Structure formats: structure tokens, C-alpha cells
């Protein structure tokens, strides 16, 4: 009974420049660790092969060191790997793949599907019909050749492709590199392994996107998995088991603070997040000076706990209560400045006014503490 692991969209060489240097380096390293984990999973599940449905590399120009590290990371699984070029690493006449071969980096157990055709893994019972991208974008369905492709009797027919299943994915990617929705049926495939959509997604009972094994963007689309496929024989339906591979969880929150309970709920959510989290947080609405202090303290704690937290507070206004103002003991000219800054938050320079108000409140609080001591 053939059993294999389906993965895709590793995007090796991707840079995470929007993050702090330390965090970006950790996110890069997690992608190499994901390959090593795929190898371990294949061994644990006694897989016959690992199929990679495109975009192993994020670009043709990745460093030689990245190429070598990618293939080094596969060493944990000594069975066959089949790697298909996708749109980011298309099989051009001169490509990341030809460079990998010149470097002597490709192990003997890795099959590079650089040309359309079939890779027969007879000892494993697999016939893999490959539709590699030989340019970044194509407007014809490269998997159409699967219909007329003959495979040895007794081997299960596996399609391996990278592209957009037409009519079933979001419109923004439903354009180039098209794939017929019922290709598994027309080509008599026992299983159709797809890449390009970065989340795990079932198209029909024989057709799946595995998604990327390590999330790299803020989309709640089921990223961070690989698929273990069991086939009892030709013509039988596959048994598909998603297995978690992600080290980091990516979250994107957009929250409006209006009343104190909104802040309470936000801080409870922060506390509940696991440590290997990457959080993009954007806040708007308003918060009191006391609430601002609680928020800043919570964000400081979160920065030390999580892999990364980025918080945009440009849309959040400071709305000091009468108790806030009274506690600051700001009278005379300072009191007038505070009222002016509160008003300015309604104008174009709202963010600067809010920050100035926060700084002034902090200075007044520090002075109050010094006097009391």
C-alpha cells in the first residue's frame, strides 16, 4: 500500500525584512527546521516518498549557501524525494535548479522534475505525472498532458502540479498557471498533489493543496501542515491525514477599544497566546491614561514572550478621564496644554498629539512619585 508525504511552498530564501533582525533570522531558520521535520514525519509514518509540489525556493537568485542548506536538510529521509519547480523557482534554461546541480548539492535520492513527464518509482508503487512550470506564468493548463499519459500497470497515478484551480480559489490568484478543477477525474489520477495556495485545502476527494509547512504571512488559511497520503491501490480513494509542522503561529488582530472591558478582553487574548507566536496588532478607538499604562505594560511583557509582536497604535486616541486629569494634579498652564492636546487628537496631527499627551502624562506621574518620596 503506497504511502507518501505531500508538501509544497517552502519558499526557501524568503527574507523577513519587516521584522527586527533577530526575529527575521529566527523565522528564516524555522523554514530549514520545517524541512528536517518533514523528513522525520516521513520516517515516523513509514512513507515511501516525499512529493514537493513547487516553490521549494522563493527566487531564482537565492544564495548558494541557501541551496546547499535546503538539500542538507533533507538528509533525514533517505527515501525518494520528488521536487517540482513552481512559479517562484521555474525550470528556466538557467535557474536555481541548474545552479544546484552545478554545485553538486542535489543528493542521489532527490528527483528534480524539471521537464514534463512521468517519474516512475516502481519499488514504491508510484507513478508521478509531473507538470513543472518552465516560466513564471503560463496561461495554459500544463496538466492537460496528464490525460494522455500512460503509466505502468499496478502503479498508482499521482499528479504533481503548481498553480490555481480555476473557479475555486480567490479571484486575485485565479488567473495565471490555471488547472482544470476536475483534472483528477479526466486524467484518472488516484491523487493530485498541488502547490501554490499556501494553506491546506481540499478541492475534491482526490485533489489537495498541502499548503506551506511553516507560515510566512498573516492569513488564516490553514498554513503549517503537510499531508500524509495512503493509497490501498490503483483506483482506490486516498486517505488523507494532515499533520502539523509549524513552529510559529501567525496572528493578525484588528481591534477597536471603546470601553474598559474591550481592553480587558484584549489583554486576556494576549495572555492566552502561546509563546511561539508572531502577532500583528492594530488598534483604534480610545483609551484612558490608566488604560494606556496597562496596555504599554502588557505589550512590553508580550515582546519578551512572543517571537514577534508589532503593534500599530496610530489610530488609538488617548481620552483622559476626569479622574486621570485629577490624579496628574495638572493645573494652570500645564492643565491648559493637556486640554489642547486632547483637542488636537481630532485633527490631522492626531498621532503626534496623542504621543505628546502620553509623554506629558508620564512626566507628571514621575514628578508626583518623586515628590511623594
Residue 224 to residues 10, 54, 118, 216, 325: CA-CA distances in angstroms? 10, 16, 29, 9, 48
pLDDT at 318: 77
Supply the Cα-derived Rg of the chain in whole angstroms: 27
Q: How many residues comprise the chain? A: 373
pLDDT at 317: 82
> Residue 200 and residue 246: Cα distance in Å, rounded?
12
- Could you tell me the fold of the domain covering 3-244? Purple Acid Phosphatase; chain A, domain 2 (3.60.21)
**Helix 350-372 crosses helix 289-305 at what angle (to 10 degrees)?**
90
Question: Rounded to an integer, what is the distance from CA 144 to the centroid of its chain?
Answer: 30
For the chain, give every domain's residue range. Answer: 3-244, 249-372
CB 5 within 8 A of CB 50: yes
Residue 40 CB partners (closer than 8 Å, separation 6+): 76, 77
Using CB atoms within 10 A of its CB, is residue 180 exposed (0-12), middle (13-18) or buried (19+)?
A: middle
CB 364 within 8 A of CB 329: yes
pLDDT along the chain (373 residues), means of 10: 96 94 96 98 98 97 98 98 97 97 98 97 97 92 95 96 84 70 97 96 97 91 94 95 97 94 96 95 90 92 96 85 62 61 66 67 54 49
DSSP 3-state assignment of 229? strand
Helical segments of 190-312, H only: 260-272, 289-305
pLDDT at 325: 63
> Residue 371 and residue 365: Cα distance in Å, rounded?
10
Condensed to tens digits (0 to 9), the pLDDT of residues 188-199 reads 999 999 999 999
CB atoms within 10 A of CB 73: 19
pLDDT at 330: 57
Helical segments of the chain, H only: 21-44, 64-73, 96-103, 183-186, 260-272, 289-305, 322-328, 332-344, 350-372
Residue 275 to residues 49, 271, 307, 344: CA-CA distances in angstroms? 33, 10, 7, 38
> Residue 206 and residue 204: Cα distance in Å, rounded?
5
> Residue 338 and residue 235: Cα distance in Å, rounded?
75
> Residue 2 and residue 193: Cα distance in Å, rounded?
15
> 29 is written with which cell numbers?
531558520
pLDDT at 205: 97
pLDDT at 137: 87
CB 293 within 8 A of CB 321: no
Amino acid at each position: 500500500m503506497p504511502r507518501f508525504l505531500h508538501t509544497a511552498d517552502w519558499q526557501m530564501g524568503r527574507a523577513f525584512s519587516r521584522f527586527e533582525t533577530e526575529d527575521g533570522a529566527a523565522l528564516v531558520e524555522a523554514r530549514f527546521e520545517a524541512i528536517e521535520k518533514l523528513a522525520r514525519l516521513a520516517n515516523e509514518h513509514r512513507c515511501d516518498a516525499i512529493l514537493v509540489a513547487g516553490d521549494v525556493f522563493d527566487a531564482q537568485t537565492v544564495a548558494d549557501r541557501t541551496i546547499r542548506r535546503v538539500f542538507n536538510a533533507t538528509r533525514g529521509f533517505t527515501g525518494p524525494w520528488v521536487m517540482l519547480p513552481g512559479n517562484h523557482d521555474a525550470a528556466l534554461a538557467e535557474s536555481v535548479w541548474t545552479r544546484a546541480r552545478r554545485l553538486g548539492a542535489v543528493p542521489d535520492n532527490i528527483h528534480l522534475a524539471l521537464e514534463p513527464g512521468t517519474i516512475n518509482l516502481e519499488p514504491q508503487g508510484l507513478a508521478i505525472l509531473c507538470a513543472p512550470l518552465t516560466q513564471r506564468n503560463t496561461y495554459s493548463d500544463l496538466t492537460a498532458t496528464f490525460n494522455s499519459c500512460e503509466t505502468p500497470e499496478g502503479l498508482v497515478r499521482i499528479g504533481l502540479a503548481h498553480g490555481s484551480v480555476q473557479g475555486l480559489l480567490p479571484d486575485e490568484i485565479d488567473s495565471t498557471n490555471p488547472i482544470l478543477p476536475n483534472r483528477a477525474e479526466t486524467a484518472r489520477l488516484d491523487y493530485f498533489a498541488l502547490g501554490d495556495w499556501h494553506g491546506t485545502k481540499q478541492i475534491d476527494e482526490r485533489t489537495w493543496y498541502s499548503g506551506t509547512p511553516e507560515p510566512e504571512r498573516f492569513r488564516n488559511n490553514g498554513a503549517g501542515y503537510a499531508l500524509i497520503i495512503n493509497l490501498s491501490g490503483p483506483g482506490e480513494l486516498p486517505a488523507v491525514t494532515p499533520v502539523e509542522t509549524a513552529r510559529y503561529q501567525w496572528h493578525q488582530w484588528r481591534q477597536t477599544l471603546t470601553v474598559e472591558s474591550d481592553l480587558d478582553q484584549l489583554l486576556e487574548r494576549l495572555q492566552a497566546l502561546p509563546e511561539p507566536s508572531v502577532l500583528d496588532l492594530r488598534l483604534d478607538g480610545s483609551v484612558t491614561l490608566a488604560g494606556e499604562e496597562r496596555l504599554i505594560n502588557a505589550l512590553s511583557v508580550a515582546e519578551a514572550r512572543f517571537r514577534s509582536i508589532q503593534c500599530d497604535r496610530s489610530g488609538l486616541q488617548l481620552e483622559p478621564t476626569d479622574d486621570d486629569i485629577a490624579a496628574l494634579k495638572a493645573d494652570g498652564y500645564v492643565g491648559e496644554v493637556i486640554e489642547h492636546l486632547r483637542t488636537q487628537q481630532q485633527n490631522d496631527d492626531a498621532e503626534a498629539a496623542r504621543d505628546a499627551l502620553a509623554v506629558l502624562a508620564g512626566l507628571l506621574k514621575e514628578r508626583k512619585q518623586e515628590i511623594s518620596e
